[in-house]
Amino acid sequence: MESYKQYWNPTIETMPKEELKQLQLKRLISQVDYVYKNSQFYHKLYSQAGVTPEDIKSLEDYQKRIPIIQKDDIRKDVSPENPFGGVNCVPPKKLMIWVSTGTSGIPTFGGRTREDLILMIENLSRSFWATGFRPGTKVIQQFGNWHWSPSNLVVACNRMGVKQMMVIGASIGPFAQRAAVLTKYFKPDFLVLPATFTQLMIQEAIKMGEEPTELFSGIKKILISAEVLTPLTRKRLKERAFCNAEVHFYAGGGESQVWPVDSCYPECDGGHLWEDLVLSELIDPETRELIPSAERGEQVTTNIATKGTPYVRFDMEDLVDMYYDPCVCGRTHPRITIIERADWQIKVAGKTIVPFDVRTIFEEFPETEEAIFKIQKYSQNMDKLKIVAEYDRKKTKDRKELRERLRQRIKEKLGLESEIEWGQVVVPSMDQVTHKIVRIEDLTKEKK
């Protein structure tokens, strides 16, 4: 077997931390100056905040003076004549356009210059090379062409020498069948897919009369997006279909314009976030205060290298885990995992809970491992968890007993009292594009 270099860009990926921080700061300071001079939106924002680029000489200055922005701040200025809301730093005719998912309103427009494209391809090359993409690797990828990344991944793969990449269209039923058939004939090494599509593919394989563990036995790695994987989901995917594969999670993109893929550990532990391209800060979702060395918080990101529509101190509204400890792979950049949308956090008896915490418990029981559930948020600070859930009727006749077991486990694991109601669950909504199931039903909004 041919041997390849370990890192795509060894100089940057293993740059000593101190040096990397200096490079990041230098780019950050020059980015503030650049957006102030070239973007209507930032010029107005900083003028109103009484700050000029000359005031920003250190990270402390930046964190003290530069306002954190949210999607709505940009949306205020969006119009058909000004679709970028003034964030763009070069004229629109010079930009390749992408749009966000728009799950919470008008999609935000983003644009890339030619140089930005090169940077994004570099970023994808580093991340996917780290997962083991090499010349000769065969890949089936499907993560929705609505996003900026799939087309760029094709280019990145070409650059890495990964020529045999097959792109499947949309992540819906008919395409899942196609993906299953293609697996049989194309025999890919890697799959790059959203979580729900992976399930559809397994179902299609069974319908085709195939045994999934056999059909997918040649798959070496599967990279899954959209919903963060619980340890049990990983285990089950391996047992039921991808018996010889490593299962990894990837997420990112959007306004952060970076794409980390967890790959350094067998278990989900975050993908490297390239600090020469972005600055990532964490804030407390409630107080909105910066939490300097926290491991979990709401992600605020700054593109320090891209020039088309840079997002500067942009609140991604995602709850993330960051890992700053040295990584086994030798890369010096921190790792990040996106856990949930930040507004899906709830307070129960003074504790902060996300649906992921409940999901891991429901998955422990065969009767509810595949159950749909929703958490009802009935006040800002609830005294107990309220859950409406389904269960597998074939696996138990005694639903009272099942409820007791679940309640006990919630008490043990989360230290919380709970009320569980069995019933058919219509999840409040499912984002068809990103395949995130919304598991919080906010009753406080209706009461107002």
Residue 424 is given by DSSP the state -
Q: Which of 327, 371, 372, 425 binds Zn ion (CB under 5 A)?
A: 327
Q: Are 250 and 268 in contact (CB under 8 A)?
A: no
Residue 92, CA distances (Å) to 83, 109, 114, 145 in order: 9, 10, 13, 21
Q: Which amino acid is at 175?
A: F
Q: Are 347 and 380 in contact (CB under 8 A)?
A: yes
DSSP state string for 214-252: HHTTT--EEEEESSPPPHHHHHHHHHHT-TT-EEEEB--
Contact between 329 and Zn ion by CB under 5 A: the answer reads yes
Contact between 438 and Zn ion by CB under 5 A: the answer reads no
Minimal distance in Å, beta carbon 378 to Zn ion?
A: 42
Minimal distance in Å, beta carbon 24 to Zn ion?
A: 18
Distance CA 281, CA 259 (A): 16
Residue 181 is given by DSSP the state H
Minimal distance in Å, beta carbon 323 to Zn ion?
A: 9
Stretch that binds Zn ion, among 157-165, 166-174, 321-329, 394-402 (CB under 5 A): 321-329
Q: Are 195 and 229 in contact (CB under 8 A)?
A: yes
Distance CA 229, CA 407 (A): 23
Minimal distance in Å, beta carbon 230 to Zn ion?
A: 22
Stretch that binds Zn ion, among 150-158, 239-247, 322-330, 397-405 (CB under 5 A): 322-330
Minimal distance in Å, beta carbon 261 to Zn ion?
A: 10
Minimal distance in Å, beta carbon 246 to Zn ion?
A: 14
* Residues of span 225-284 touching Zn ion by CB under 5 A: 264
Residue 130 or 353 having the CB closest to Zn ion: 130
Minimal distance in Å, beta carbon 8 to Zn ion?
A: 13
Distance CA 83, CA 71 (A): 13
Which own/partner pairs from 288-295 qualify as long-range (CB within 8 Å, at least 24 positions apart)?
288/68, 290/63, 293/324, 294/322, 295/321, 295/322, 295/323, 295/324
Cβ-based neighbour number of residue 378 at 10 Å: 15
Stretch that binds Zn ion, among 29-37, 70-78, 159-167, 319-327 (CB under 5 A): 319-327
Residue 13 or 363 having the CB closest to Zn ion: 13
Stretch that binds Zn ion, among 29-37, 67-75, 90-98, 324-332 (CB under 5 A): 324-332
Minimal distance in Å, beta carbon 123 to Zn ion?
A: 15
Residue 129 or 143 having the CB closest to Zn ion: 129
Contact between 106 and Zn ion by CB under 5 A: the answer reads no
H helix intervals, 39-172: 40-48, 59-65, 71-75, 114-130, 149-160
Q: Which of 27, 234, 313, 331 binds Zn ion (CB under 5 A)?
A: 331
Stretch that binds Zn ion, among 39-47, 120-128, 163-171, 328-336 (CB under 5 A): 328-336
Minimal distance in Å, beta carbon 191 to Zn ion?
A: 21
Q: How many residues bind Zn ion (CB under 5 A)?
A: 4
- Interacting residues with Zn ion (CB under 5 A): 264, 327, 329, 331
